[in-house]
């Protein structure tokens, strides 16, 4: 046990040595929580003689689960390993064994977001709900939010017209999933909770089995994950949760920060340990990030500290516009590389995926290789989903979505009319593929169409016979060849077709690697269904990383650029004051990804959907102590020039012949050139006054956001 404990600091060691009962570990950013979790699991096995099979450790990403699994394996050596997986993968493992109790087959398919939206489009069409009223994406969001809160069709709120409409969609959607023997991501968790609720004997077996349960990133758990964790731990009460309320950034997908903040209420006898030594960032970065998140009211206090060097000041760069911002970031990356940094040391963060384009173009101009995390997922590409749909249908013939996708891919002359005629038999037959057979048996199709559908069914039957005798990577390659998919792409001379061929080749190579490791086709389909954006990140590839702030969680880089630090972008315009604390936590997460150098950039003007917006700098910038930053650009000089221009304008206003007549206000003392303060925009200079009464307006040049035209009645301007 010396090896397990010797590398730990005192608080980590205390967490590892904790015995029976609930344990809450507040693990600050970069404080070694994965090390602590891995060493605790190893200690339970090596020193407390807990069988590995009686330990369940869950986290949120495949990357985090893989890292934890590898660390545990290195510590315990050979032999049985504990369950270490994501929440979703753990639920899949349980459901493969137990879902028969809920009326599904163990070969159920897992639908990704694209599949769900496609199925919901069918539901909306059948229910005659116009997409202008409810889009498939919006319906998916409503249903997913319900599932995250543990709300089934039976308990869905129907008290409003919108609720009643959504409930009808939810009901039909679940019926179609059941007929297809399929579950979506939300179902994996919800059905597991329902399984345990409706079948106490099944629950009892898993409660007995899991003597110790460890949950990583507990601050990101939603209601269903909270219920699942607590019900499994109810018998032994050895629940260890690790998290950081300051890094709770997924409220938009159902995460409830109260789960970690209220843990001591749920478990009054819980031992609470704080990991506050940071091993990642410089002292300045840590102090700056701490000052920002300290503005939040709803948090547990922490005092992170580090033995790392104090480090360089944080660079705050103001630029004229978004194009200059991209040029500045690319040029600075070039300079850093010339100084000896590797490209993979550097990451560029932004609030939304749409903001990546300018940085991509600038990096291309500077000939700097990059990779985007969170773009089009590999397994979401059309050609990849086409090949996988054939395999999904072989494993689960009830998967109607897969059957509909490939019945005419590649094109075999089966049109929409034929598909609709087949669909009429779908409910009686129990799936679309079975409906094809039934339609043929009843001579319901015209001769040409019948011949084509019969050819499709026979092709699948041939692949199905090979499923038990042929390794699935070879079968997948034969599907690509025998369906004519490969020929179709090779005869297309376009670059797009070449890319699609390469993607299929990459898919087949991945299958071969998986099969070589002993994985089955069902294992493979399950794995790719649960893949996340971050799983594609390759820390060894020497490329600049572009990614959203949300995707950056769990990663670290020597150099980080946080861009578009402006009101309306970050914090985002769509969040209300109640959500500002989550936006601030997101800022904290971004800042604490940086190990050595941190850049915060903001632009005075930015093009958004073709319009130019003047944005105030983010409030988060002003929460960083000035002593910790160095300013790039000269906002003070720009402001002085603007002020002088306004004063000249005011002095010569009477003699000018401008289109807009400038007036002096005799009621509240406002006049052109008056210095005023606005609650949101700060200090500004009045440039123009027009109109009268309730419609009276002032054009004000603000230091932070440029010119704004305000209705005086509502502006609340005060002398400055």
Catalytic residues: 33-34, 216-217, 247, 593
Q: Find the helix or strand (DSSP H, E) in which 324 lies.
A: helix 322-338
Beta carbons within 8 Å of 217's beta carbon, 6+ residues apart? 59, 60, 64, 242, 243, 247
In whole angstroms, how far apart are CA 658 and each of 654, 662, 688, 695?
10, 8, 11, 21
In whole angstroms, how far apart are CA 138 and each of 120, 320, 385?
10, 36, 23
Beta carbons within 8 Å of 539's beta carbon, 6+ residues apart? 344
In whole angstroms, how far apart are CA 718 and each of 537, 622, 665?
51, 21, 14
Neighbours of 95 (CB within 10 A): 22
Answer yes or no: are the C-beta atoms of 177 and 184 closer than 8 Å.
yes
Beta carbons within 8 Å of 152's beta carbon, 6+ residues apart? 146, 190, 194
Query: How far is it, in rounded angstroms, from Cα 238 to Cα 224?
Result: 19
Beta carbons within 8 Å of 159's beta carbon, 6+ residues apart? none
Beta carbons within 8 Å of 550's beta carbon, 6+ residues apart? 249, 250, 586
Query: How far is it, in rounded angstroms, from Cα 376 to Cα 533?
Result: 9
Q: At what angle do helices 495-516 and 521-529 cross, to 10 degrees?
A: 120
Q: What angle do CA 41, 42, 46 make, to 5 degrees?
A: 125
Cis, peptide link before residue 410, omega less than 30° from 0 = yes
Q: What is the DSSP string of 608-666?
A: ETTEEEE-PBPHHHHTS-GGGEEEES-HHHHHHHHHHHHHHHHHTTTT---SSPP---S
In whole angstroms, how far apart are CA 455 and each of 396, 481, 507, 508, 534?
20, 16, 26, 25, 41
Query: How far is it, in rounded angstroms, from Cα 616 to Cα 232?
Result: 49
192, with CB counted inside 10 A (0-12, 13-18, 19+), is: buried
Cis, peptide link before residue 549, omega less than 30° from 0 = no
- CA 558 remoteness from chain centre: 23
Q: What stretches of 59-106 show up as alpha helix (H) in DSSP?
A: 62-76, 87-98
In whole angstroms, how far apart are CA 216 and each of 33, 34, 65, 86, 281?
8, 8, 9, 9, 21
Query: How far is it, in rounded angstroms, from Cα 148 to Cα 140?
Result: 12
Answer yes or no: are the C-beta atoms of 37 and 241 closer than 8 Å.
no
DSSP annotation of 60 = S
């Amino acid at each position: 046990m010396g090896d397990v404990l010797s590398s730990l600091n005192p608080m980590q060691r205390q967490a590892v040595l904790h015995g029976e009962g609930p344990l809450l570990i507040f693990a600050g950013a970069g404080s070694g929580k994965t090390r602590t979790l891995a060493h605790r699991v190893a200690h339970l096995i090596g020193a407390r003689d807990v069988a590995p099979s009686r330990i369940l450790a869950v986290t949120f990403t495949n990357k985090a689960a893989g890292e934890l699994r590898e660390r545990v394996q290195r510590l315990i050596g050979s032999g049985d390993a504990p369950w270490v997986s994501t929440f979703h993968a753990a639920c899949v493992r349980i459901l493969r064994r137990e879902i028969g109790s809920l009326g599904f087959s163990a070969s159920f398919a897992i639908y990704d977001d694209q599949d769900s939206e496609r199925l919901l489009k069918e539901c909306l069409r059948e229910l005659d709900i116009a997409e202008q009223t409810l889009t498939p994406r919006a319906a998916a969001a409503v249903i997913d939010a319900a599932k995250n809160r543990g709300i089934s069709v039976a308990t869905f709120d129907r008290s409003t017209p919108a609720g009643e409409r959504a409930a009808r969609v939810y009901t039909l959607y679940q019926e179609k999933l059941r007929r297809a023997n399929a579950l979506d991501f939300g179902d994996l968790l919800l059905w597991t909770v329902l399984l345990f609720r409706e079948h106490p004997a099944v629950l009892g077996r898993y409660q007995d089995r899991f003597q110790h349960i460890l949950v990583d990133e507990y601050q990101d758990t939603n209601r269903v994950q909270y219920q699942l964790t607590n019900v499994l731990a109810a018998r032994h009460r050895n629940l260890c949760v690790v998290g950081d309320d300051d890094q709770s950034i997924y409220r938009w997908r159902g995460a409830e920060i109260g789960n970690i903040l209220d843990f001591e209420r749920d478990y009054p006898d819980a031992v609470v340990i704080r990991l506050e030594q940071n091993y990642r960032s410089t002292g300045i970065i840590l102090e700056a990030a701490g000052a920002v998140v300290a503005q939040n009211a709803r948090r547990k206090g922490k005092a992170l500290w580090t033995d790392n060097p104090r480090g360089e000041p944080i660079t705050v760069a103001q630029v004229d516009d978004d194009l200059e911002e991209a040029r500045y970031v690319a040029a600075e990356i070039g300079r850093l590389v010339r100084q000896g940094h590797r490209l993979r040391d550097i990451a560029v963060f932004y609030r939304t995926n749409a903001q990546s384009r300018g940085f991509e173009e600038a990096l291309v101009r500077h000939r700097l290789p990059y990779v985007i995390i969170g773009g089009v997922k590999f397994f979401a590409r059309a050609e990849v989903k086409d090949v996988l749909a054939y395999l999904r249908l072989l494993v689960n013939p009830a998967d109607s979505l897969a059957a509909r996708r490939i019945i005419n891919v590649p094109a075999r002359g089966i049109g929409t009319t034929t598909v609709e005629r087949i669909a009429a038999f779908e409910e009686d037959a129990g799936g679309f593929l079975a409906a094809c057979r039934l339609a043929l048996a009843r001579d319901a199709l015209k001769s040409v169409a019948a011949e084509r559908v019969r050819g499709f069914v026979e092709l699948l039957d041939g692949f199905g016979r090979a499923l038990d005798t042929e390794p699935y990577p070879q079968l997948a390659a034969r599907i690509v060849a025998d369906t004519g998919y490969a020929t179709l792409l090779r005869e297309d001379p376009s670059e797009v077709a070449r890319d699609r061929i390469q993607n299929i080749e990459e898919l087949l190579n991945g299958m071969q690697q998986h099969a070589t490791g002993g994985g089955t086709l069902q294992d493979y389909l399950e794995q790719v269904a649960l893949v996340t954006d971050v799983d594609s990140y390759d820390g060894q590839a020497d490329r600049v990383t572009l990614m959203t702030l949300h995707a950056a969680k769990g990663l670290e880089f020597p150099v980080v650029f946080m861009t578009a630090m402006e009101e309306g972008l970050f914090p985002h315009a769509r969040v209300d004051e109640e959500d500002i604390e989550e936006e601030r936590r997101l800022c904290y997460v971004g800042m604490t990804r940086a190990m050595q150098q941190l850049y915060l950039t903001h632009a005075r003007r930015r093009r958004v959907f073709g319009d130019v917006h003047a944005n105030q700098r983010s409030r988060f910038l002003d929460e960083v102590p000035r002593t910790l930053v160095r300013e790039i650009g000269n906002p003070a000089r720009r402001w002085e020039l603007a002020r002088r221009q306004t004063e000249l304008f005011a002095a010569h206003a009477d003699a000018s012949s401008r289109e807009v007549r400038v007036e002096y206000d005799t009621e509240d003392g406002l006049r052109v050139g008056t210095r005023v303060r606005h609650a949101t925009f700060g200090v500004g200079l009045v440039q123009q006054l027009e109109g009268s009464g309730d419609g009276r307006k002032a054009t004000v040049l603000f230091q932070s956001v440029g010119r704004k035209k305000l209705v005086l009645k509502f502006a609340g301007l005060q002398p400055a």
